[in-house]
Amino acid sequence: MSRIRKLPPFEQTMGATLLVAKEAVLAPMRPKLREYDITEPQWRVLRVINDRGAADATGLAEVGLLHAPSVTRILKDLETRKLIVRQPDPNDRRRSVVVLTEEGREVVKDISRQVLRVMREHSARFGAQRLERLADELRALSAVIKGVE
């Protein structure tokens, strides 16, 4: 049985490096999410709605980097918890959009304070300019890989 010798050890790959970085960035935020019993995908949906206002499921999936069936389940849960409410789309009454409820806005506001604190710590420790350059480079890498330059 031959082994592929050209690949670096897994822990030295770009994929592993990105996963380690993602975990390092998100780990300090998880306790606040757990406090509200919010999963990371749910948080992404709440953030997108908060940032963009009323949104449909397709838009939430695209911007939140989630699969459509996952968004459907997330929306059901968030609606049951009264964090979001569905409304008819003003441009197309056959569709619905979701918006944050007052309780949903309060949850986002509270969690956002923790996220901002953590982001400031990351920025202070790594350097604001370095962090921005890294983000720019990662966006550029993503665009090249997707073929969208």
C-alpha to C-alpha distance for 99 and 121, rounded to whole angstroms: 31
Please indicate, yes or no, if residue 53 is contained in any of the structural domains: yes
SS3 37: coil
Please indicate, yes or no, if residue 19 is contained in any of the structural domains: no
Please indicate, yes or no, if residue 7 is contained in any of the structural domains: no
Predicted local confidence at residue 48, as pLDDT? 97
Q: Determine the structural domain holding residue 100 and report its residue range.
A: 32-143
**What is the pTM for the complete model shown?**
0.87
* 58, 68 Cβ separation under 8 angstroms: yes
Please indicate, yes or no, if residue 27 is contained in any of the structural domains: no
Pick out the chain residues at pLDDT < 70. 1-4, 149
CATH of the domain at 55: 1.10.10.10
- Domain total in the chain: 1
